[in-house]
Every structure is written in C-alpha cells, then in structure tokens.
Amino acid sequence: MRFGVNYTPSAGWFHSWLDFDADAVRRDLADIAGLGVDHIRVFPLWPLIQPHRGLIRPRALADVAAVVDVAAEFGLAVNIDALQGHLSSFDFLPSWVLSWHRRNLFSNPEVVGAQADYIEALTAAVADRANLLGVTLGNEVNQFSSAHHPDRHPATRDHVDAWLTELTAAARRAGAPLVTQACYDATWYDDLEPFRPEHAARHGDLTVVHSWVFNGAAQAFGGLGEGSVRHGEYLLRLAAAWHDDPGRGLWLQEVGAPTNVVAEPDVAAFTEQTLRHAADVPGLWGVTWWCSHDVSRTLLDFPELEYSLGLFTNDHEPKPAAHALSRMIQQASGSAAPASAATPAGIPSSAASAGPPVLVLDDTDADTYRSRCGPGQDFHRDWLKLAVAHGTGPAVVLQSRLDDPSRPVRSRTGDLQRDTELLASTGGNRHV
Amino acid sequence: MRFGVNYTPSAGWFHSWLDFDADAVRRDLADIAGLGVDHIRVFPLWPLIQPHRGLIRPRALADVAAVVDVAAEFGLAVNIDALQGHLSSFDFLPSWVLSWHRRNLFSNPEVVGAQADYIEALTAAVADRANLLGVTLGNEVNQFSSAHHPDRHPATRDHVDAWLTELTAAARRAGAPLVTQACYDATWYDDLEPFRPEHAARHGDLTVVHSWVFNGAAQAFGGLGEGSVRHGEYLLRLAAAWHDDPGRGLWLQEVGAPTNVVAEPDVAAFTEQTLRHAADVPGLWGVTWWCSHDVSRTLLDFPELEYSLGLFTNDHEPKPAAHALSRMIQQASGSAAPASAATPAGIPSSAASAGPPVLVLDDTDADTYRSRCGPGQDFHRDWLKLAVAHGTGPAVVLQSRLDDPSRPVRSRTGDLQRDTELLASTGGNRHV
C-alpha cells in the first residue's frame, strides 16, 4: 500500500507557480520525504498553463516537470492533477470560459477539446520521468457541476461519461502510466450530482475517494466518533460497490484532519485511526494525506480550517499528524502485507463467507438513493452499526446486482440474527 | 497635443506577462516609436500581479517597471492601466472575487481596499521613472457594472463615487503624476450605467473617452459617414459638458478603426478624418490609438475585428492606419499649435461667440437623457447636423446649467434661424 502527501507549497501556496522556485520546492519536499511517504500529488493551475484556448505555455510545462525532477531527488513518485479547477475554496478558471466567453466545462466541444489538448501536453511534458506515478484529470472538477455551485456548469450523466472518456484518452495517449479522476463526495451523497458513482468506479485505472469529515460525519458523530474515523473506510467500501472488476483498486486520494471539527489534541488519534480503518479495505492501492504544509496566515480568505490542515507548519515544523502518519508508515512497512489485501474489493466471493459482513444498498431508485448514504443518514448508520459490531466495516453490495442473475452474490452465514436486530432500529437496510 | 498607442504585445498578447521578455517588448516598441508617437498605454493583468487578496507579487511589479524602462530607451512615455479587468472581450478577475469568493468589485470594503493596495503598489513600482506619464485606474472597469454584463457587479452612483475617490487617492499617494479613470461609452449612452458622465468629468486629472464606432455609429452612418469619423469628436464634446473646470483636459484614450464596420480600404481615411476632427476639440490633451499590433491568428475566440485592429501586423509590418497616424503626427508637429487649443473645453465663454455652435442637452430627467445621446439617436443626429453645417462640431451645454444662475452661458449670435430649421426635423434640441 502506498502512502503519500498532497503537496501544498509553503511559500505562496499554489500561486507559487507564478514565481517558480525549484529550491523552495526542494525545501518543502525534504519535509515530506522525511515522513517516509513514497509519493506526492501535485497541482498545477490550469489558467496559468493554458491562459488562452490556443496557448499552452512551454515554460509552465517545464516548471511542472521540474517539480517531478526535484521529487525524484528525494525518491518520491509524483501524481499530477491537471484541471485546477478547484482548490481549498478557490476556483481557477481561464478567462476563455468566463463571463463573455462562458462555455460549459463539460459539454462544449471547444472547451473539452482544449482541455484534452491541455491534459495531453501536460502529460507529455512528464511522461518520460521514471518517477511519474500518474495523472488525475483534475481536483474535484465535479464541484463545477454541483447544484450548489454559484456559477454551475450543468452536465448530464452522458456529458460526464463523454467528458471522462475523452480526457482519460488524452492522458493515456500522452503516456500517463496511471489515469484517474477525482470527485468530491457529492458523487456518493448528493442525488443531484451529475458525476455519479458509476463514473467514479468505471473510468480511469483506480476508483478515487476524497474523505472529508467536515461534510457531516464529524458533526453527527464527533471528531473521534466511529462515523468520523471510519469515514474514509466507509467511502472506500461504498465506492467499491460499483466496481465491475472485483480486482479494481481504490485510492483514498484525499483525507485530512480538519480542526474545525476535529479538536486539535485529537488530530493524531484521528489520523491514526482513520489510516488503520482505511487499510482494512480490500483493494486499497494507497492513501494520500491532505496536506503537506499549513496555509500561511499572510494569505487571506481561506476557510479557517485550511490554515491548520498541514502535516507541517508553514515554517516547516512537523505537527502531531505528521508523527502519526510517519508511525503508520513504519508499521506498515515492517509488517507483512495485511491479510485483507489478498481479498479483492467489491462484491464478496463465496470464499469471503467467513469474512466481513455485507450490507445491501437499495439503489433501485437512482434519483434518491444517494442522499441515504450521506454521513449520519440511514445507510451510513446501518453500515456503522455492523462495522462496530464486527470490528470491520461491511462490504457494500448494490440491490440492482443482487437482482442480476449474471452477478451472483452468495449469502454468508454468521451473525445474521444479531445483524438483523441491529439494523431494525435505523434504516432496516438488508444485509446478506 | 500628445499622440500615443495602446500597446498590445505581438507575441502572446497580454498573456505575455506570464513569460515576460524585455527583448520582445523592445522589438514591439521599436515599431511603435517609429510612428513618431510620444507615449504608450500599458496593461498589466490584475490577477497576475495580485493573485490573492494578501499577495502582490514583487516580480510582476518589476516586469511592469521593466516595460517602462524599455519605453524610455525609445523616448516613449508610459501610462499604466491598473485593473485589467477587461480587455478585448476577455475578463480577468482574480479567484478571490469569483464564485465561492464572489464579492462586489465596487462596494465590498475588502475588495476595494485590496484594489487600493494593488494600485498603490503598482504606482509605487514605477513612480520614480521620469517617463511615467500617469496611471489609469483600469480599462473600462465600468463594464463589470453594466446591466449587460453576464456576471454583473451592481453599483450605485454613490458606490462609484466612493470607489473612484479611494482608488484615485491610492494612485496619488504613491506618486502618480497623472491619474485618470476610463469608461466605455455606456457612461454617456446607457441610462442604466452606474458610472455616469459626472464621474468621468470630475474624478482624476483628465476626462477620458473611448470611442468605438462599432457601438452603433458606423451601423447608422457607414464607416466613413460623418457620424463615424466625428464620433470621437462627439464623445469628447459631450463629455466636456460636465466639466466643472472649463480648463479641464480631455483624453481620447482609445479610438480605432474596427474592420467589422470600417471597410479595409477606408481605414486610412477613417483614421485621418477621426484624428482631424478630434483635434478640433478645445482642451484635447491627447489621442491614443487602439492598438499597436494585430492579435495573432493562433489566439482563438477573439471577436473577429480584434485580429485587424493593429497599426502593425502581428509580424511587425506597418498597415495603412500606421502611415495615416504617422502623417498626422508629422503635420501636427510641423504646424503651430492649433488655434482651438487656446480655448478651454466645456462651457463656451462669451469670447467664443464667434466660435463653434452650441447645442443644449436636456439632462433634466437624469434617468432617460443618456439613451438620447447614443449613436444615431436624436441628440447625436442634431449634433451632427450642426457639425456638418458649421464645419465643426457644436459644444454641448447641459440644460441644468443653463437653468443655473451661477453658471452663466451667453447666447451666441450667428446662424440661429438656420440652425433652428436644421434641428426641427429631428429631436428639436435647443441651441443657444
């Protein structure tokens, strides 16, 4: 299992691309490499590399390649995120899709074609680097399609499918060794979100999950409640329910300890428990912590929690979460591969009958089931009850697949009576 | 009278700030200086210099100063426009005023305070240069307040007054030798526009006018019609009507020959006639042609006319308008100062009784008079009739001032009978 860190530059945050300084990057990556992680996730700003639809700046591409090369000095692999897009409450869109030139980010052929050009050029600029881990199409680009976005770019399910297909192909064409796409959790929790679980589970090479307990979990269960420290695990197991290939991997690409809902003294415990529970999930490819460095207080307007999400302070001091992450990495590398790693994610095979419990998600009504999965909602609560009772979170299987004779799911024997009683008091979701 | 050029970089347009290259600027300014002009107008991009509310990039300021220094090599003075803002159909706003961080550009105290910081820092970076002409707050920033803007930032008349006052003070504080603010013509033609003629005529050191015949004049009168080649003159005379100080200067800061409405073979004649008529206006401080270089065809999405507005092609060949402008400059420098230059702008004095005609604009209803001034509307048509009849455009006086005993306006003798008949067929606007 891979451990990594989302790299937030200590000087100038992502605006530092405007004043690229390889030595400043070197200083930051030395901090990160000291934790024992194997990779970083790097975020170019789309409008700086492609400020005009017809202009992709060679020097900006060279700057991204330089970060990959500095990472190599520290033995770090690098995943590049292309379309930023959205970062920590700030949206970065080029002027050629704004106001007088507003065109839909997901369905306008000129825009999507230019995004493909951008992703292809960005990938090509780093494809020959041995330490290139892969390319993610963009950070939570689905935020722009959200019903809650103030300048929403509407998209249908088909638009999203076509968009993901075209941009994934662009990254592959240019030689990305691993292509992924990253959604925020509305994909699983929001009935109105056009980026659906199927999109997350069927495009790209891994299913990517971003787990943020400020989105309801910590409010409902407390910062160290089971609903919070198992939130990453929950999202991973939920996402796996849509896998067609039971061997498909899962990437917990963002998870962090937001101090607006996790008390400062609890951050280390939150970190450790979150990582431990996530590591139980079969098929977990890796975890990438958010984030490397606190945002400087000289930068204004960030949500308060962003100033304290770093593993390091803005002036390079490691914080409790850094020590917790480092310990977990040492333990993981010292032990044999966890037993569960041999079990593929997704629908449990008959061989898993002695394994973890299985919970059925009734996805029959595609327009309404997602809100039932949200933090503190009935499906989440039932999942948690089984997780606590069994000591490990249940796998999730879709009702639509139980009903599909081509996808057999065997019932497991075990604590069926107890589980039935457990679930009767909340949503009454089926287990099998 | 000053002649200048709005500088549009030949390589990379204004995105060239991202890859600043003093030699590329040098090559462009050599073209411009060859015309005999005395100044250029330079457009930094606001989001690149102040990408974050708390971050003004020293290197970006140094790049702007470097342009001023390159201009000095060619004997060119430089006017810096701060808030871009808007350029040739593209809006450039920093992420800290967009979407999740959207705050009103004109009335939010945090935003206006940061804009003042930006203008102060930008001015301070160049204030010690002997060839600094001045600072304009921004290019047509009033577009963002327009009722037609797709992401309008509403503003009241008082907001605009406070905004102009605060930002003008910031530029003065940092030592700008000349401070101006630039509106597009909605200020005079659009009843809904919150930036009003009073704002244009009373803030800053000069009244700035941008004359674009694609905004109705050429459509109504033809590219070489009197309504087109006198459009710059008309706007100047109209703007002067609000002057409190009859000695206040006027700057025709943008005027160009857009080939969507001026036929290519007519561009040189349009240029010459436009400049000649503008030069007749008392108090004209200078004219700055739009623009130096055609936009490259490799850059997409511009309105078609932007690819041909340059005095030079994208590869540095002078075009007919360049020759016309150059000839005009030679003639102007060869002749004595025009007689009219001695006459102050604005309300004609009794000494002007033998001078040009005077037309009264009925501004009694502040909510409706502006649309009557638009190209092809009744006030413009009456003004044109008198201009053609007299060979020079009439000065404009406001009805509200005629009615004000503290602002005496003497009637002129002359062709009153003829003028009355001329005007009876259109709006019947009064002349005095």
Q: What is the DSSP string of B320-383?
A: HHHHHHHHHHHHHHHSPPPGGGGSPSSSPPGGGGGSS-EEEE--SSTTTTGGGGSTTSHHHHHH
pLDDT along chain B (432 residues), means of 10: 97 98 98 98 98 97 98 98 97 98 98 98 98 98 96 97 98 98 97 97 98 97 98 98 96 97 97 97 98 97 96 98 96 63 38 67 95 97 96 94 70 57 70 68
Tell me which residue in A55, A59, A299 faces B54 most closely, judged by beta carbons: A299
- What pLDDT score was predicted for residue B339? 40
Alpha helices in B10-79 (DSSP H): 22-33, 46-49, 58-73
Q: Is 90 exceeded by the pLDDT of residue A222?
A: yes
A347-350 — which CB contacts under 8 Å span 24+ positions?
A347/A241, A347/A243, A347/A246, A347/A395, A347/A397, A347/A401, A347/A407, A347/A409, A348/A395, A348/A397, A348/A409, A348/A410, A348/A412, A349/A246, A349/A410, A350/A410
d(CA A243, CA B9): 52
Whether residue B46 lies within 8 A of chain A, CB to CB, comes out as: no
Alpha helices in B174-259 (DSSP H): 186-189, 197-202, 217-221, 226-229, 231-240
d(CA A363, CA A340): 27
Q: For residues A274 and A255, is the Cβ–Cβ distance under 8 A? A: yes
The C-alpha angle A223, A229, A232, rounded to 5 degrees, equals: 125
- What pLDDT score was predicted for residue B340? 42
d(CA A273, CA A225): 10
Whether residue B62 lies within 8 A of chain A, CB to CB, comes out as: no
The string of pLDDT tens digits covering residues B229-269 is: 999 999 999 999 999 999 999 999 999 999 999 999 999 99
Tokens coding A314: 């803005």
Which residues on A lie below 8 Å from B299 (Cβ)?
A: 52, 54-55
If you measure CA to CA, which chain A residue comes closest to B103?
A301
Nearest to B168 by CA among B106, B105, B108, B120: B120
- What pLDDT score was predicted for residue A424? 72
Mean pLDDT of chain A: 92
Task: Please list, residue by residue across A227-249, b when 16 or more beta carbons sit within 10 angstroms of its beta carbon and e when fewer do.
Answer: bbbbbbbbbbbbbbbbbeeeebb
Which residues on A lie below 8 Å from B15 (Cβ)?
A: 51-52, 55, 57
Inter-chain residue contact A48 with B92, CB threshold 8 Å? no
Residues 6+ apart with CB under 8 A from A379: A359, A361, A372, A373, A427, A429
Element (H, E) at A132: strand A132-136
Place of tokens 């040009």: B356
Whether residue A212 lies within 8 A of chain B, CB to CB, comes out as: no
ipTM associated with this complex? 0.92
Whether residue A201 lies within 8 A of chain B, CB to CB, comes out as: no
Inter-chain residue contact A55 with B12, CB threshold 8 Å? yes
d(CA B65, CA B99): 32
Tell me which residue in B54, B55, B150 faces A99 most closely, judged by beta carbons: B150
Nearest to B202 by CA among B164, B231, B156: B164
Inter-chain residue contact B90 with A101, CB threshold 8 Å? yes
A62 backbone dihedrals φ, ψ, rounded to 5°: -65, -35
Give B352 to chain A, closest Cα distance, Å.
Answer: 46
Whether residue B89 lies within 8 A of chain A, CB to CB, comes out as: yes
Whether residue B101 lies within 8 A of chain A, CB to CB, comes out as: yes
Which residues on B lie below 8 Å from A98 (Cβ)?
A: 91, 93, 98, 151
Give A112 to chain B, closest Cα distance, Å.
Answer: 15
From the CB of residue B344, how many other CB atoms can be counted at a distance below 10 Å?
18
From the CB of residue A412, how many other CB atoms can be counted at a distance below 10 Å?
19
- 3 state DSSP class of B209: strand
Residues 6+ apart with CB under 8 A from B409: B347, B348, B358, B397, B401, B402, B432
Which residues on B lie below 8 Å from A92 (Cβ)?
A: 95
If you measure CA to CA, which chain B residue comes closest to A148?
B100
The percent of residues in chain A predicted with pLDDT above 70, rounded, is 90
Which residues on B lie below 8 Å from A151 (Cβ)?
A: 98-99, 151
Whether residue A418 lies within 8 A of chain B, CB to CB, comes out as: no
The residue-averaged pLDDT of A165-184 equals 98
Inter-chain residue contact B12 with A92, CB threshold 8 Å? no
Inter-chain residue contact B99 with A12, CB threshold 8 Å? no
- What pLDDT score was predicted for residue B343? 38
Give A124 to chain B, closest Cα distance, Å.
Answer: 21
Which residues on A lie below 8 Å from B12 (Cβ)?
A: 55
Alpha carbon distances (Å) from B240 to B188, B201, B345, B355, B382: 11, 7, 6, 16, 17
Give A62 to chain B, closest Cα distance, Å.
Answer: 12
d(CA B409, CA B394): 14
Inter-chain residue contact A51 with B90, CB threshold 8 Å? no
Nearest to B188 by CA among B152, B215, B214, B206: B215
Q: How long, in residues, is chain A?
A: 432
Whether residue B57 lies within 8 A of chain A, CB to CB, comes out as: yes
- What pLDDT score was predicted for residue B347? 36
Beta strand extents in B205-320 (DSSP E only): 206-211, 249-255, 284-290
List, as ranges, residues 276-315 from B with C-beta within 8 Å of A. 298-301
- What pLDDT score was predicted for residue A162? 98
If you measure CA to CA, which chain A residue comes closest to B88?
A100
Give A110 to chain B, closest Cα distance, Å.
Answer: 10
Q: For residues A269 and A224, is the Cβ–Cβ distance under 8 A? A: yes
d(CA A153, CA A324): 40
Whether residue A91 lies within 8 A of chain B, CB to CB, comes out as: yes
Give B158 to chain A, closest Cα distance, Å.
Answer: 25
Which residues on A lie below 8 Å from B54 (Cβ)?
A: 298-301
Give B166 to chain A, closest Cα distance, Å.
Answer: 21
Alpha carbon distances (Å) from B35 to A49, B26, B42: 35, 15, 17
List, as ranges, residues 130-189 from A with C-beta within 8 Å of B. 149-151
Q: Is 60 exceeded by the pLDDT of residue A15?
A: yes
Q: What is the CA radius of gyration of chain A?
A: 21
Residues 6+ apart with CB under 8 A from A410: A348, A349, A350, A353
Which residues on B lie below 8 Å from A18 (Cβ)?
A: 18, 48, 51, 57, 59-60
- What pLDDT score was predicted for residue B335? 62
Q: For residues A393 and A356, is the Cβ–Cβ distance under 8 A? A: yes
Inter-chain residue contact B100 with A13, CB threshold 8 Å? no
Place of tokens 């190599």: A72
- 3 state DSSP class of A168: helix
If you measure CA to CA, which chain B residue comes closest to A300?
B54
Confidence of residue A296 (pLDDT cuts 50, 70, 90): very high
d(CA B144, CA B47): 15
Inter-chain residue contact B59 with A19, CB threshold 8 Å? yes
The string of pLDDT tens digits covering residues A373-412 is: 999 999 999 999 999 999 999 999 999 998 777 765 554 4
- What pLDDT score was predicted for residue B254? 98
Q: Is 70 exceeded by the pLDDT of residue A221?
A: yes
d(CA B413, CA B416): 7
Tokens coding B164: 């102009």
Inter-chain residue contact A93 with B98, CB threshold 8 Å? yes
